[in-house]
Amino acid sequence: LGLHEDALRDYRQAASCQPVWPTALVRLGDALARCGDLDEACVCYLQVKAIDPLEPMCYFGFANARLGLGDYK
């Protein structure tokens, strides 16, 4: 998890510096998902959707996270 933890730290910092930067939030969601924190990843993806509803990666990430949570069968 070392590299994932580093990525989480870096993306959290980027998101806190630029809270309306969709790319940072999508990447943070991706890193959270890779670390198994799918609920928190969903929160990030929904934040991106609120900021930029045309950002396709928030929908892709959200769907994958929900799939991992078992919400789709």
Report residue 18: phi and psi, to 5°: -130, 75
Separation CA 48–CA 54 (nearest Å): 9
Separation CA 68–CA 20 (nearest Å): 26
Question: What's the pLDDT band for 1 if we cut at 50, 70, 90?
Answer: low
Q: What per-residue confidence (pLDDT) applies to 4?
A: 77
Q: What per-residue confidence (pLDDT) applies to 24?
A: 92
- Neighbour tally for 2: CB within 10 Å: 6
Torsion of CA 14, 20, 21, 22, to 10 degrees: 120
User: Tens digit of pLDDT for each residue in 7-44?
Assistant: 899 999 988 898 889 999 999 999 999 999 999 999 99
Q: Is the pTM of this model over 0.85?
A: yes
- Look at residue 46 and tell me whether its pLDDT is greater than 80: yes
